[in-house]
Amino acid sequence: VLSKTERASMTRLWTRKLEQDSDRLPRTARHRNLHPDSAELIHALAVGLHAQAILEIGGSSGISTIALASAARATGGRLTSIEIEPTRQAESRETISSLGLSDHVRFILGDAADALPGLDAMSFVFIDCEKEDYVRFFDMVTFAPGAVVVADNILSHDLSDYVAHVRSLVGGESLTLPVGKGLEITRIP
């Protein structure tokens, strides 16, 4: 279960995001964060699956990073968090450190396209980057047998190419949950 301080940090980041949205800041200045309901769900899923090798693509300032780092602490596993934008990741590192979760996270600063080929097999993967990259990055991940992949923004954006892609996996299972901005949850065969 997420701790009080972890939840408080997620709420702080989410409140700032809502304020930035209402101030109509330019898109590049705004933090795009995961809905806290979705963060709760990915935390519970990763813990329930006892996931050891956890990966997120697009950590940003870190709502999902808190959720998955806390899950990694509960399972004795580790989160690998990839983010291309240095100031966003610096903020996330600070938050994770202040929550005492640094031992459970390996931060990678850079393009996921460069980082993914070097990673070991993953048992829980969270995809939350540019929408046109979902299929490409999904195909670059090495999955452990029975791995679970969650992708955000399924109902807020047109990600029909991604949904069709994951639903075409022979022997896999995939469904959309109407939580937050819509989550596609896929079990790899």
Ligand X SMILES: C[S@@+](CC[C@H](N)C(=O)[O-])C[C@H]1O[C@@H](n2cnc3c(N)ncnc32)[C@H](O)[C@@H]1O
User: Which is nearer to ligand X, 61 or 123 (by Cβ)?
Assistant: 61
Shortest distance, CB of residue 142 to ligand X, whole angstroms? Answer: 17
Cα–Cα distance for residue pair 174/142, rounded to 1 Å: 18
Output 52 or 85, the one with its CB closest to ligand X: 85
Shorter beta-carbon distance to ligand X: residue 16 or 172 = 16
> Using the rule CB under 6 A, is 180 a contact of ligand X?
no
Considering only 41, 51, 59, 166, the residue that binds ligand X (CB under 6 A) is 59
Q: Is 111 in the site for ligand X (CB under 6 A)?
A: yes
DSSP letter for 117, please: G
Contact between 127 and ligand X by CB under 6 A: the answer reads: no
Exactly one of 32, 106, 165, 187 binds ligand X (CB under 6 A); which one?
32
Q: Give the integer Cα–Cα distance in Å for 29 and 130.
A: 16
Binding segment (CB under 6 A) for ligand X, from list 70-78, 110-118, 160-168, 174-182: 110-118
Measured from the CB atom, the residue of 5 and 156 that comes closer to ligand X is 156
**Residue of 2, 6, 9, 34 that binds ligand X (CB under 6 A):** 34
The CB-based long-range contact list for 99-103 (8 Å cut-off, 24+ gap) reads: 99/3, 99/5, 99/6, 99/9, 99/66, 99/69, 99/70, 101/6, 101/66, 101/69, 101/70, 101/72, 101/73
* Cβ-Cβ contacts under 8 Å for 80 (sequence gap 6 or more): 53, 54, 55, 56, 105, 106, 108, 119, 122
Contact 184, 154 (CB under 8 A): yes
Residue 7 binds to ligand X (criterion: CB under 6 A):
no
Contact status: 54 vs ligand X (CB under 6 A)? no
> Angle, to 10 degrees, between the axis of helix 63-75 and the axis of helix 4-22?
160
Under the rule (CB under 6 A), what is the footprint of ligand X? 32-34, 58-64, 82-85, 88, 111-113, 128-130, 133
